[in-house]
């Protein structure tokens, strides 16, 4: 990896294309959400100028600030981190998608604000596929009832599922997490009221996005492979992670 954002982005895009081919798909079947947390707006702008439209932020305040700093650019922001219900108003000021929908109280808060704004919102249901107590997300067996309940929320457009794999160098275990999410998706497309609209699978980060694509990811969330290592440990972004997996 070089310090050149555009070059790193091109490298990641190539690898996405190659992994997509290995899974019998084309590069267009996979959406790259470039994760910009901790990265200054001016470095993010280099990626945007290189044609990157989809950006993701983990925290609401930082996302808002960065969206303001990049106003005027063509960007579609995704919220990918844990979202408190009292931050809903702020997240809807910049995000076009929330990938971390993990409870009905959040759906209720989003719906209320969206009705007020007269808007809809793409959402992904976050699932805890690693069975770690520290991870946010629904347990796999909670998903069918959750999808049924989501029908009552007119402004929310469920588009599929998101997960964080277990933080481990054990690729087989990471792959297992991705397969769990994929099988949840496959079942939901057949059985859930939203049907084929739920085809989205957001899984894979800098260390494992190629594996995720091989397992069917339609969205990957990649930051460090483009921008370089973050100054703060991942435990800062995923509270309690340090206790369970040691972060990285
Ligand atoms: C930070 C983050 C990513 C990207 O991680 P990288 O190691 O920078 O690729 C993906 N998903 C979520 C939810 C994140 O917070």
Give the tens place of pLDDT for each residue, 142-183. 999 999 999 999 999 999 999 999 989 999 999 999 999 999
Name which of 167, 160, 168 is nearest 218 in CA terms: 160
Q: Is 41 part of any domain? A: yes
Which of 129-143, 190-204, 206-220 is least confident?
Answer: 129-143
- C-beta contacts of 79-86 below 8 A and 24+ residues apart: 80/33, 80/35, 80/56, 80/162, 80/202, 80/221, 81/37, 81/57, 81/237, 82/136, 84/60, 85/109
Q: Is 247 part of any domain? A: no
- Can you give the pLDDT at residue 244? 43
Task: CATH number of the domain at 66, please.
Answer: 3.20.20.10
- Structure confidence at residue 135 as a pLDDT band (50, 70, 90): confident
pTM of the model: 0.93
Give the tens place of pLDDT for each residue, 94-124. 999 999 999 999 999 999 999 999 999 999 9
DSSP H or E segment with residue 236: none
Name which of 157, 164, 229, 224 is nearest 195 in CA terms: 157
Name which of 84, 102, 195 is nearest 143 in CA terms: 102
Q: Is 97 part of any domain? A: yes
- Can you give the pLDDT at residue 239? 58
Cα(85)–Cα(109) distance, rounded to whole angstroms? 6
Q: Is 148 part of any domain? A: yes
Q: How many domains is the chain partitioned into structurally? A: 1
Q: Domain span at residue 54?
A: 5-241
- Structure confidence at residue 243 as a pLDDT band (50, 70, 90): very low
Q: Radius of gyration of the chain from Cα atoms? A: 17
- Ligand 1 close to Cβ of residue 37 (< 6 A): yes
Region 18-23: mean pLDDT is 97
Of ligand 1's listed atoms, the one at least distance from the Cα of 237 is: 15
Handedness of CA 217, 223, 227, 229 (dihedral sign): negative
Report how far ligand 1's centroid is from the alpha carbon of 224 (Å).
8
Q: Is 246 part of any domain? A: no
Name which of 145, 103, 139, 142 is nearest 123 in CA terms: 103
Q: Is 119 part of any domain? A: yes
Cα(36)–Cα(34) distance, rounded to whole angstroms? 6
Report how far ligand 1's centroid is from the alpha carbon of 189 (Å).
26
Report how far ligand 1's centroid is from the alpha carbon of 57 (Å).
9
Q: Is 128 part of any domain? A: yes
- Can you give the pLDDT at residue 237? 65
- Assess contact for 165 and 181: CB atoms under 8 A: no
Q: Is 147 part of any domain? A: yes
């Amino acid at each position: 990896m070089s310090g050149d954002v555009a070059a790193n982005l091109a490298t990641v895009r190539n690898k996405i294309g190659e992994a997509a081919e290995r899974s019998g798909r084309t590069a267009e079947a996979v959406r790259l959400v470039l994760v910009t947390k901790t990265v200054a707006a001016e470095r993010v702008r280099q990626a945007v100028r290189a044609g990157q439209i989809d950006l993701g932020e983990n925290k609401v305040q930082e996302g808002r600030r960065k969206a303001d700093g990049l106003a005027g650019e063509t960007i579609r922001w995704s919220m990918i981190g844990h979202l408190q219900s009292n931050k809903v108003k702020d997240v809807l000021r910049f995000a076009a998608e929330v990938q971390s929908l993990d409870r009905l109280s959040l759906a209720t808060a989003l719906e209320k604000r969206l009705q007020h704004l007269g808007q809809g919102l793409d959402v992904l249901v976050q699932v805890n596929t690693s069975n770690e107590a520290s991870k946010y997300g629904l347990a796999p067996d909670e998903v069918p009832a959750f999808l049924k309940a989501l029908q009552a929320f007119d402004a929310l457009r469920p588009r599929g599922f998101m997960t964080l794999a277990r933080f481990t160098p054990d690729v087989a275990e990471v792959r297992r997490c991705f397969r769990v999410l994929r099988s949840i998706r496959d079942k939901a497309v057949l059985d859930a009221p939203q049907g084929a609209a739920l085809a989205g699978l957001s899984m894979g980060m800098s260390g494992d996005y190629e594996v995720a694509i091989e397992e069917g990811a339609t969205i990957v969330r990649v930051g460090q492979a483009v921008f370089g290592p973050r100054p703060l440990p991942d435990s800062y972004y995923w509270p309690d992670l340090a206790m369970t997996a040691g972060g990285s």
